[in-house]
Amino acid sequence: MKLLRTWNNQTIPSIATIGNFDGLHLGHQAVIQKVQDKAASLGFASTVISFEPLPAEYLRKPPPTRILPLRDKLIYLQALQVKQFACLSFNQALAEMEPEEFIQTILLDGLQVRALVVGDDFRFGRKRRGDYQMLQDLGATQGMEVLQASTLLHASERVSSTWVREALAKADLSTVKTLLGRPYTLSGRIRHGDKRGRTIGFPTLNLRIPENIALRKGVYAVHAARNDQFLVKGIANLGSRPTVNGLETRLEVHLFDFTEQVYQQHWTIEPVAFIRDEQRFESFDLLKQQIKLDVEQARSLLH
Summarize the confidence of residues 245-270 as an average pLDDT.
88
- Cβ partners under 8 Å of residue 210, min gap 6: 66, 69, 249
Q: Are 105 and 33 in contact (CB under 8 A)?
A: no
Which DSSP helix (H) or strand (E) runs through 208?
strand 205-208
Q: Residue 197: its pLDDT value, please? A: 54
Q: Over 90: is that where the pLDDT of 96 sits?
A: yes
Q: Residue 291: its pLDDT value, please? A: 93
pLDDT in tens, 23-58: 999 999 999 999 999 999 999 999 999 999 999 999
Summarize the confidence of residues 260-271 as an average pLDDT.
92
Q: Residue 303: its pLDDT value, please? A: 86
Tell me the C-alpha distance between 187 and 224, whole Å: 9
Q: Residue 74: its pLDDT value, please? A: 97
Q: Over 70: is that where the pLDDT of 200 sits?
A: no
In which band, very low, low, confident or very high, does the pLDDT at 243 lie, cut at 50, 70 and 90?
Answer: low
Q: Over 60: is that where the pLDDT of 129 sits?
A: yes
Helix (H, G, I), strand (E, B) or coil at 141: helix
* pTM score of the predicted model: 0.93
Q: Over 90: is that where the pLDDT of 283 sits?
A: no
Q: Which of 187, 216, 186, 176 is nearest to 26 (CA)?
A: 176
